[in-house]
Structure 1
Amino acid sequence: MTLQTLVVVIASIMAVNNVAPIGAAVAIMLCSGGLAWLAVSREWLPVAALARLLEAWDPESPDMDGLRSGDERRSDNDVASLVKGLHGLASRIEGYGERERNFTRDASHELRSPLTVIKMSSDMLAEETSLSEFGHRSLERIRRSTRELESLVEAFLILSRESDQGLAEEDFVVNKVLRQEVDYARELIAGRPVELILDEPASFALHASPRVFAVLCGQLIRHALQQTDQGTIVVTVMPGSVSVINPAVDAPEPGSRRHASVDRHGFDLAIARRLSDRFQWPLELRSLPGASRVASIRFPNPHPIEA
C-alpha cells in the first residue's frame, strides 16, 4: 500500500512538472493500482478458501482431511498457523463428541444393570418373613436410596447429551406422569411426619419427552422432601404449569446435621434448573406469606386433553 501511494505521488509530480505526459502518468497510476489489487487478491485467496470450508462445515461429519490438506497447500505463515489451530480445535471437538457418545451408551447400560439387580434383590429380600425390624428399616433405606440414585442417573444421562437425540417425543398427559412420580416419592417419606399430596384442578398434555418431564418434576419433588422435616407438600397442576409447594420451616442452625442435609440436597434443584434451561421450560422459585416455598415450571406450549 505504501509503495502504491509513492508511485501515485511521483507520477502526479511528473505530470504537474511536465516531466512526463499526463497520459503516461495516468497509465502508471492504473498499472500500480492493478498490480496492488492482484497482490491483495492473491493474499486473500487462502482466507477465502478457508472461509468456504468453514461455511460448509458439518459438526456431525467434520472434514478433517480438508483442513489438513489445506494446511500443506498454503505457504502464508499466518494462514497456516490459523489452519493448524482450527485443525487442533476441530480434533478436540470431535474427541469430545466421541466421548459423549461412549459415555451415554456405556453409562446407560453399566449403571442401570446393577441398579436393576439391587431393586430385584430388595424385592426378594422384602418377602423374607424372618427379617427383623432393623432389617426392614435397613431394606427400606436401601430401596429409597436406589430410587434416588436411579433418578440421578437418569438426569445425568439426559444432561450429558449435547443434543436431544435419543429422547423420544410423544403426546402425553402430564397428570398421569405426575401421579407416578408422586407415588415414587411417597416411598422416600415412609415413616416420616411428611405428607405428599397431588392437587389436580387442571389437566393438560405436552408433546415432549415424558422421561425428561418425569425427571424434572421428580427432582423438584425430592428437593421439597429434603427441605421439609414435617408438614404437607402439595404438587399442583394448573393450566400450563406444575408447582411444588413445601411448608415453612425454621432456619437450621449452622453446622447442624439438618443444615448439612439442606446444603447437600440443593443439588436436586441445581439439576432441575439445568433441565429447565435445556428444554426451555421456565423454572420459577418464590416464597409465599409464612415463608412457604414454591417451585413452579411453566410449559409454553400445553395442549388440551381431547375427550
Structure 2
Amino acid sequence: MTITTGAQVPRAERLRGGFQRRLLLIFGMQLVAVVVVCLMGYYNVAPAVAVVLLIVIVSGLTWLATERIWRQVSALARWVGDWKEGQTDLDALQSDRLRQTDSDIATLARGFHNFASRIAGYNERERNFTRDASHELRSPLTVIKMSTDMLSDEAGMSEFGKRSVQRIRRATREMESLVEALLILAREADNGQSEQEFVVNDVLRDELANAREMLHGHPIELRLEEPAKFALHGSPRVFAVLCWQLIRHASQYTGQGVVQVTVLPGMVSVSAVAGGEQVPHAAGQRGFEYAIAQRISERFAWPLSLHVQGGNRYVAEIRFPKPMPVSA
C-alpha cells in the first residue's frame, strides 16, 4: 500500500470509500446468501449436504474478503510498530507496499505522519536547547567562578569586599546546581552514560559539605544521620541535585534551625524544625525547589512525599524501589 498525504488523499477517499461501509457490504452479502441457502434447504430445492456446503463456502469467501481489507490495517500496525523515533517518512518503515489504499487507512497514515513529524521537531528543539543552554549558561558561570577565585586572592581587600566575593561565589554555585537540574529535566531521557553504582551515604556527605558552604551566613545547621547504608544504580549527580533541592526547600521552610538528612533502609529523609520563634512557611507553599525535586523524582521513579508534623516539623522522604547492599 502506498500511503499518501496531501492532495492525493481526497482522490483515494473518492475511489475506495469508507472502511466501515465495506465491512457492512461484505457481511450484508453474507447474510443474504445464508438466508437464500437456508430457504433453498427449507423448500427442498437443495439437499441438506449441499446447503451446509454452500454455507461453508459463503463463510469462507466472507473471511477472505474481510482478511483482504484487514490486511491494510495490519500493514499500518506493523509500520507503527517498526517506527523509530526521529523517522518521519512512513515509506522507510516498511519495504512491502500494499497496492490499494482505503480512505480510513489513508487518514490514519496521514495522522501518524504528522505525529512523527511533530515528534522529530520536538526532539530537534530539545537537542538544540540542551546543547546551547549547556554551553551558553555554563561558560559564563565558569568565568564568574574564576574571577571570584582571583578576587579572593587579592591583597588588601576590605572585609566588605571579601563578603561580597563569598556571596557571589555561593550564588554562582546555586546557579550551577539550578542549571544542571533544569538540563536534567529538559532532556527526554538519560542516555545511561552517567549511570553507575554509587553509595548513597558517600554522595550525601559530599553534598552536605557543599550545602554548608552555600548556606554559609544563614542560621541553618545541617546534620547527617546514617542508621542505614545502601547503594543505588543510577546517576550520582542527579541524586545529589535532588537532595540539594530538598535541602534548599527545607532551609527556606524553616528559616532558621536544624535541617537533618537521615539515611534509612531504602529511603532518604530531609527534615527541618523551625528554631526559636521562627514561624515556618505554610505547608501549601512548596516553592520552586520542591517542584524541581518532584519532577526529578518522577523522571527517575524515586517516589517523593512531603508532610508537616506537629505544625513546625518539615519532613520530605525519597523512597528508592531497588536499593542495593553496599559491597565490602
TM-score bracket, shorter-length normalisation: 0.7 to 0.9
Q: Does 1:193 align with 2:219?
A: yes
Which of 274, 280, 299 is 2:320 aligned to? Answer: 299
- Local SS of the residue matching 1:247: strand
Bigger CA drift: 109-118 or 240-249? 240-249
Provide the C-alpha distance between the structure 2 equivalents of 1:246 and 1:25, rounded to a whole number of angstroms: 85
- Give yes or no for contact 2:248–2:289 (8 Å, CA) kept in 1: yes
Sort the Cα spacing of 1:306 and 1:177 in 2 relative to 1 into closer, same or farther, 3 A: same
**Which residue does 1:43 correspond to in 2?**
69
Measure how far apart 1:287 and its partner are.
2.7
Q: Which residue of 2 aligns with 1:284?
A: 305
Alignment of 1:215-230 (within 5 A): 215-230=241-256
Q: Which amino acid aligns with 1:105?
A: R
> For 1:95 and 1:70, how far apart are their aligned partners in 2?
27
Paired AA for residue 280 in structure 1: A
Cα deviation for residue 252 of structure 1 reads 5.2
Q: Do 1:70 and 1:83's aligned partners in 2 also have CA atoms closer than 8 Å?
A: no
* Residue in 2 that maps onto 1:214: 240
- Residue aligned with 1:146, SS: helix
State yes or no: 1:274 paired with 2:295: yes
Deviation, 1:64, is 3.2
Q: Which residue of 1 aligns with 2:16?
A: none
Match of 1:256 in 2: none
Normalising by structure 1, we get a TM-score of: 0.83
Q: CA deviation at 1:304?
A: 3.8
Structure 2 unpaired stretches of 5+: 1-26
How many angstroms does 1:251 deviate by? 4.7
- In the TM superposition, residue 300 of structure 1 has moved relative to its aligned partner by 3.4
Match of residue 152 from structure 1? 178
Matches within 5 A, 1:72-83: 73-83=99-109
SS in 2 for 1:38: helix
Q: Structure 1 18/189 Cα, relative in aligned 2: closer, same or farther at 3 Å? A: closer
Look up the match of 1:250.
279
**Offset from partner CA, 1:254-301 (integer Å, 9 cap, x none):** xxxxx9xx95x7111111112222222222323333621111223333
**C-alpha separation between the residues in 2 aligned to 1:28 and 1:239?**
72
Please tell me the root mean square deviation across aligned C-alpha atoms, in Å. Answer: 3.1
The residue type paired with residue 285 of structure 1 is L
SS of equivalent to 2:175: helix
Tell me the SS of whatever aligns to 2:245: helix
Where structure 1 has 5 or more consecutive residues not aligned to the other structure, the ranges are 254-258
Give the whole-Å Cα distance in 2 for the aligned partners of 1:199 and 1:30. 78
User: Are 1:172 and 1:207, in contact at CA under 8 Å, matched by a contact in 2?
Assistant: yes
In structure 2, relative to structure 1, the CA distance for the partners of 1:231 and 1:21 (3 Å cut) is: closer
Please report the TM-score for the alignment, with normalisation by the length of structure 2.
0.78
**Residues 42-81 of structure 1 correspond to what in structure 2 (within 5 A)?**
42-59=68-85, 64-66=90-92, 73-81=99-107
CA 1:15–1:159 in 2, change beyond 3 Å: closer, same or farther? same
Q: Is the 8 A contact 2:196 2:236 kept in 1?
A: yes
Q: 1:154 to 1:161 in 2, by over 3 A?
A: same
CA distance 1:19–1:208, shift in 2 (3 Å): closer
Task: Sort the Cα spacing of 1:57 and 1:203 in 2 relative to 1 into closer, same or farther, 3 A.
Answer: same
Aligned to 1:182: 208
Q: Which range is displaced more, 32-41 or 118-127? A: 32-41
